[in-house]
A and B are shown apart, each in its own frame.
Chain A
Amino acid sequence: MDPALSVTALRKAYGRTTALDGVDLEIGAGELVGLLGPNGAGKSTLVKIACGLVRPSGGNAAVCGAPAGSREARRALGYLAELFRFPGWARAEEVLALHQRLAGSNGGAAERAALLEQVDLLHARDRRVEAMSKGMQQRLGLAQALIGGPRLLLLDEPTSALDPVGRRMVRELLERLRGQGVAVLLNSHLLSEVELVCDRVAILVDGQVVAAGRPSELVHAGGVEIETAGGVRRFAQASREQVPELVADLVRDGERIYGVRVVTSSLEEAYLDAVGDQQEGAA
């Protein structure tokens, strides 16, 4: 089975500015991959090439085995742009109905209702876009991206306008989609969110992937902290596997144990390390 998204040696230059410089990335069915990087790193360009909005300067990009931008590729994907707008005069239902016709979906009213329900907008189905908050419009955009049951979902900053409840709703939705075998490429600045939901992460700096892997692989071990009656004892070089032994030693020494914490760096720290290293290297 073809991967949902396969990107090989992808390059894109806008005049003299290089946006992507030999990016390789693959996303399998049901996989949720986070794309991280500073502004101008090339994240949106990568997503736009995948959905056919931007033509690559070199390399290959394929969606479910079809060349990115081809009709077959566009049929297989759903896309939510970072900066998008629906016509203000249209009602939520009309926006979805239009995209159903354009996508060739025959889901009808049932699909529209189900999608609006998923993004908690069923109550606003007859509301005009111009009367919606930015967050509501973003949730409508998400519903629009899910029309026709895409195999690959490309989300460019899908939660930038959402409040914490909305973000949680999107997180749960993405987890449900993963369960249904939908592949997701999530481009986001919200590292905590990416860490919570993504199977893998790719960090892009200056158009190149500088780090990639599972969040647990990217974060660094930071030792073990054990809370005792005498205060918190830190074992900087210890790993998770050593916890039982450490606790046993302390108890043997007469300490009372109140809590144990395996310390790891956050994805944010790993991200800052990767971005910082790269930028220092460039300097």
Chain B
Amino acid sequence: MSGVVVVAGYALRESVRRRVFAVVLLLTLLFLGLFAFATAKVFESSGDFTVGRDIGTLDATGLVASTMLGLAMFAILFLATVLAVFLTLGAVRGDAERGLLQPLVVRPLGRTSLLLGRFAAAASVCAVYVALVYAATTLIVHQASDRWPDAIVGPGLALMGASAVIVALALLGSVFLSATANGIVTFMLFGAGLVAGLMQSIADGIGSHSLGQIAHTIAIALPFEALYQAGLHALTADQSGFTGALIQLGPFGSSHAGGPGLDLWALAYVALALAIAAWGFARRDL
């Protein structure tokens, strides 16, 4: 266990010293600034939209607040994916090709500990990052709308779980693929998850059960997408009526409830990915 902690500390120190966090912080502040500006502008427009139009029970503020939170969820997942991929894409094969790994691997700590240390570091960084940006965007929307999402903690945890899944996948890829190939594959998997979400929206829209099944299967095969959908769903779980229907037309179109089964599956998925990575790493000649 101490070996895992040492490697995790080493990986975190590397990120700090390479100014990874400084760059990420700078770009995230830029993103949050733009998000705050856009949110303020959108609420100005939505105020104009409600004046003079009597369209029944539409909660325009709630609709806009939910839409902005949904967009924030997508942006956070994307940014966390970028962070996860760049923290892990060359963790094994890339570092071995550069000669960085060999001096570490011959130490008594063992390859599995090394792998778990890298996972712990990257997953922790992503989790903290997701939590901070999620909290910031939620506060920005609250500041502009005086509304809180229907669930606050659950969606954040779902995003953190999604980022951990992506870290595990990128780490698994780093055992078998070169850094460049691994980065491409991981982003393509992320894209496949997005496509599954779009397919789900289309399936719901046209009422296609088989398309919905395909989308659901992909989301389960790539549980970061299922967790993301569950997080989105929890954000607006209490919205109903005309407003709830409209929300489903926006970025929440693909949202679906998760539940404890999904959480357990995501946990098992991460454990399986790490187990395969450890198996592959143990067999790799360096």
Which of A's residues lie within 8 Å of B, judged by CB?
Answer: 14, 48, 51-55, 71, 74-75, 77, 79, 81, 83-87, 89-90, 98-99, 101-104, 141, 144
B277 to chain A, nearest CB (A): 17
Q: What are 9 A-B residue pairs whose CB atoms fall within 8 Å in the complex?
A: A53-B105, A53-B106, A53-B286, A79-B102, A84-B102, A84-B103, A85-B98, A102-B107, A102-B108
Interface presence of B152 (CB below 8 A): no
Give the residue name and chain of the A residue nearest to B107 (CB): A102
B14 A89 Cβ-Cβ under 8 A: yes
User: Chain B's nearest CB lies how many Å from the CB of A195?
Assistant: 28
- Least distance between A147 CB and chain B CB atoms (Å): 9
Specify which of A54, A55, A74, A85 is in contact with B99 (CB 8 Å cutoff).
Answer: A85
CB distance from A111 to the nearest CB of B (A): 15
Residue pair B106, A83 in contact (C-beta under 8 Å): no
Q: Which B residues lie within 8 Å of A79 (CB)?
A: 102-103, 106
- Asked if A51 meets B17 with Cβ closer than 8 Å, knowing A98-B10, A101-B6, the reply is no
Asked if residues A98 and B99 are in contact (CB atoms below 8 Å), the reply is: no
| B-chain residues with CB within 8 Å of residue A89 when the two chains form the complex | 14, 17-18
Residue contact A75 to B103, C-beta cutoff 8 Å: no
Contact B286 A48 (CB under 8 A): yes
Residue of A nearest to B5 (CB): A101
CB distance from B16 to the nearest CB of A (A): 9
A84, B286: Cα distance in complex, Å: 12
Contact assessment for A54 and B107 in the assembled complex, using a CB-CB cutoff below 8 Å: no
**Contact between B108 and A71 (Cβ–Cβ < 8 Å)?**
yes
* A74 close to B106 (CB less than 8 A): yes
User: B286 — nearest CB in chain A belongs to which residue?
Assistant: A53
Q: Which of B6, B17, B18, B102 has the most CB of A within 10 A?
A: B102
Does A86 lie within 8 Å of B100, measured CB to CB?
yes
Residue ID in chain A nearest B285 by CB atoms: A54
- Complex Cα spacing A87 to B283, Å: 25
Residue B258, interface by CB 8 Å = no
Distance, CA A154 to CA B14, complexed state (A): 27
Flag B77-113 by CB within 8 Å of A: 1 or 0 each.
Answer: 0000000000000000000001110111111111000
**B131-149, CB under 8 A of A: which get 1 and which 0?**
0000000000000000000
| A83/B99 in contact, CB under 8 A | yes
B108 touches which of A54, A86, A103 (Cβ 8 Å): A103
Q: Does B3 contact A102, Cβ atoms closer than 8 Å? A: yes
